[in-house]
A = this chain, B = another copy of it.
Amino acid sequence: MTASLKTNIETILGRPIEPVEVDMFLKLMFEKNFEKKDLLAEEGKDCSYIYFIVQGSCYSYFVEPDGDKQVVQLAIEGNWISDLFSFFSDKKAIYAIEALEPVKVLALNRHSFEKACDTIPWFDRFFRILIQKAYIVSQNRLAKTKSDEAETRYQELSKAHPQLIQRIPQYLIASYLGIKPQSLSRIRKESAHKA
């Protein structure tokens, strides 16, 4: 169960860590389960946890004034998800996080986060790199959204994260790519013709 967390930490830090060290970290977190459609965080309410997804999938989004849902992040097991703005500022969440399947997570609250910073030697660095990576991904996505066509973006996503295409509904993939479900449907039709 905790294997995926260990792997995640080692990937981020770029070096192996001792099981004991993972246990220290695990003691600060608690397991939590959600059903499909449950909300792990709600827009407008405080988001006081950072989640590591052990099993299942979920996504974060916000709702536009016109009612349109905008997908911010898609995440399956082995990934972290939260509304960091809310978590670190104690302010209301900008995003909602919803389970797409039954989800098992490890949750870290603000108090435990502080404690992890103070007591686990590699935690500061780990977390900094985690955010850095997220930041770099975000900047890349921004660049791609501007320059590439929707079809290219879809194909790159398919190649980079085929699991997402399998498991996440198409209208959420569309939103994540920055297009409407109808457009993605047409793109897929086109791609099929070509192939």
Contact = CB atoms under 8 A, between A and B. Distances in A.
Interface of A: 62, 64, 68, 70, 72, 84-85, 88, 117, 124, 127-129, 131-132, 134-136, 138-139, 141-143, 145-147, 178
A145 B147 contact: no
A129 B87 CA distance: 12
Given A70-B146, A131-B131, 20 more contacts: A62-B143, A64-B147, A68-B147, A72-B139, A72-B142, A84-B132, A84-B135, A84-B136, A88-B129, A117-B124, A124-B124, A124-B128, A127-B128, A135-B135, A138-B138, A138-B139, A141-B142, A145-B145, A145-B178, A146-B178
A89 to B, nearest CB: 9
Contact of A135 (B68, B124, B127, B131): B131
A116 to B, nearest CB: 13
A145 B143 contact: no
27 contacts: A62-B143, A64-B147, A70-B143, A70-B146, A70-B147, A72-B142, A84-B132, A84-B135, A84-B136, A85-B132, A85-B136, A88-B129, A88-B132, A124-B124, A124-B128, A127-B128, A131-B131, A131-B132, A134-B135, A135-B135, A135-B138, A138-B139, A138-B142, A142-B145, A145-B145, A145-B146, A146-B178
User: How many identical subunits does the complex contain?
Assistant: 2
Contacts of A62: 143
A136 B129 CA distance: 15
Contacts of A134: 135
